[in-house]
Chains A and B, each alone.
Chain A
Amino acid sequence: MEVNIEQLEKDFQAKIDAGISIEPKDWMPERYRHQLIRMMSQHAHSEVVGMLPEGNWITRAPSLMRKMVLLAKVQDEAGHGLYIYSATETLGISRDEMINQLLTGKAKYSSIFNYPTLNWADMGAIGWLVDGAAIVNQTALAKCSFGPYARAMLRICKEENFHQKQGYQILANMMQGTEAQKQMVQDAVNRFWWPSLMMFGPSDKNSPNSDELMRWKVKLYSNDDLRQRFIDRTVPQAEAIGIKIPDDKLKWNEKTRHYEWGEINWDEFYAVIGGNGPCNRLRMKQRNDAHKNGQWVREAAIAFAEKRKKNKAA
């Protein structure tokens, strides 16, 4: 029987329009599969690379409790990475292949992790702003058309909510503290505010993938809509604890019931995406070193398992 691609594509779109989720064994256009692998693997890589800037402060956390919470948080991220890699494998790509794409620079990860963590308040700012932005993104993705991705997001969002709260609590605590602590907080927010806004991607007029992804309900809201949602919910939180958002143009618009904000530095955005952010090279080196240094361990585990199998068979 001749396969009618056009008919398959029509049925596929009809399913999506009817809100039926696509599962790994369902037929899907190659381009849909490709886009999901790109997005999901990028997401998994972001979780793993995202361990580095926070891992940077584990040995220097200022109290035993803070150290425990930070360790647990970074561990959660590793778990998210593992979970999303598995969900992505349902699309027919192996974790090894994905990791190889990351290590060779073929696959991307969220640019936010190319910014350094320079003082302890950065742990708070990352939890509050970076995880806060991730939650806005991921809450939307939890309704996306690909079942395994949507379900992964649902589960991950629960933990991210906890991360965001603990980040905010770090900052709120410090804002009640000494002058030096308040300065650390403001310094951290000054550095992380704009990069957090950039996490939603280019503005709608410059977003090349958007139309197709929206038709497939991989994306349900535009970059600018999500960015707006994030700003609207975050600014009052900043005000509540006395943090100043580093944007002179930021103001509440009574008519639209939304905040207006200044222009993002898109040159910086594209520079970081292009590999020229403050930590791009360092992050890639850290991932590559970990992989290289772990090579003999992975080989030993495989050799050992094979020996055991042989012994059992004999």
Chain B
Amino acid sequence: MNKDLFEYTLRLGDTSLILSQRLGEWCGHGPMLEEDIALTNIALDLLGQAKAFLAYAGEIEGKGRNEDVLAFHRDANHFRNLLLTEQPNVDFGFTIIRQLFVSTWQHYLYSELTHATDKNMSALAVKSLKEVNYHLRFASDWTLRLGDGTEESHQRVQAAVNELWNYTGDLFEIDQVDEALLKLGIAADMKKVEASWNKHIRQVLNDATLSVPEINNFMRTGSRKGVHTEYLGFILAEMQFLPRAYPDAKW
């Protein structure tokens, strides 16, 4: 088994899974019916991506763990999702900024991965990229509306940017997994992704009359090693409860 590829695929799958889980919390509680539907749509897309990436990870590993076993029978320290994705919804503004940061990251990352020498990886990237482009447009449009809407919306969404900015360093951490796969032409060049991400985010925030926090802020990282924020444990407790409580059951 290619351990690095397994690890890398888990990162992509877990990131989509946990963000989808968070978005699913909105279902039935959105600010208007249209946005309720849109958030659920994104949750569904991400869940589909998670399912596909985790299924592939299980295949690479070759120990008989399918996507459900990986999703429901690992503890928090084995999860590789971005710290951003596990941050709570707080309000619609936080949810939108979190989405903007992650969707932009996914957009540039998947764009790179469409050229991956690993055929499964590139096929998954092509399919996911189409969906992410819509997510990115949705999040960018709403960032504009909220940033340049009312005074209250501006303040709320600026607070979200300030709060979530500390987790954006985690997006671009490079470790030996990235390095090894980059040599094989499988992984995305994170330095390139970071540069594109920064350019796009600054443009959107600027258009939305929002300011970018100081870059030398202390960055919270750790997702690559499975060191998470306190939120993930609760997300998993809720998400995994049925398969854990009834391990013999098939659903």
Residues of A within 8 A of B (CB): 48, 51-52, 55, 58-68, 71-72, 74-75, 78-79, 81-82, 85, 120, 170, 173-174, 176-178, 180-181, 286, 289-290, 293-301, 303-304, 307
Contacts and interface: CB of A to CB of B under 8 A. Distances in A.
A290 B31 CA distance: 6
A223 to B, nearest CB: 29
11 contacts: A48-B33, A62-B251, A63-B68, A67-B24, A178-B249, A290-B29, A297-B92, A299-B152, A300-B146, A300-B150, A304-B149
Contact of B146 (A78, A290, A297): A297
B27 A74 contact: yes
Contacts of B146: 297, 300, 304
Contact of B21 (A59, A63, A296): A59
Contacts of B32: 294, 297-298
B112 interface: no
Contacts of B50: 64
B30 to A, nearest CB: 7
Contacts of B68: 63-64
Contact of A71 (B17, B40, B51, B149): B40
Contacts of A66: 251
Chain A interface SS verdict (over half): helix
Interface of B: 17, 21, 24-25, 27-37, 40-41, 43-44, 47-48, 50-51, 54, 67-68, 71-72, 91-93, 144-146, 148-150, 152-153, 156, 238-239, 241-243, 246, 248-251
Sort A-B residue pairs by CB-CB distance and give the 9 closest, nearest first.
Answer: A294-B31, A300-B149, A300-B153, A51-B28, A55-B28, A62-B242, A297-B31, A62-B251, A304-B145
A15 to B, nearest CB: 33
B152 A296 contact: yes
Contact of B33 (A60, A81, A173): A81
Given A59-B238, A64-B67, A290-B30, A180 B249 contact: yes
A78 B33 contact: yes
B149 A286 contact: no
Contacts of B27: 51, 55, 58, 71, 74-75
B124 to A, nearest CB: 15
A67 B152 contact: no
Contacts of A79: 37
Contacts of B249: 62, 174, 177-178, 180-181
Contact of A290 (B28, B248, B250): B28
Nearest to B208: A304
A301 B145 contact: yes
B28 A304 contact: no
B66 to A, nearest CB: 10
Contacts of B152: 296, 299-300
Given A75-B37, A78-B40, A300-B150, A60 B31 contact: no
A170 B251 CA distance: 7
B34 A82 contact: yes
B33 A67 contact: no
Given A68-B47, A303-B150, A60 B28 contact: no
Contacts of A52: 28
A36 to B, nearest CB: 21
A60 B250 contact: no
B241 A60 contact: yes
Contacts of B241: 60
A301 B67 contact: no
Most buried by A among B25, B28, B41, B246: B28
B12 to A, nearest CB: 15
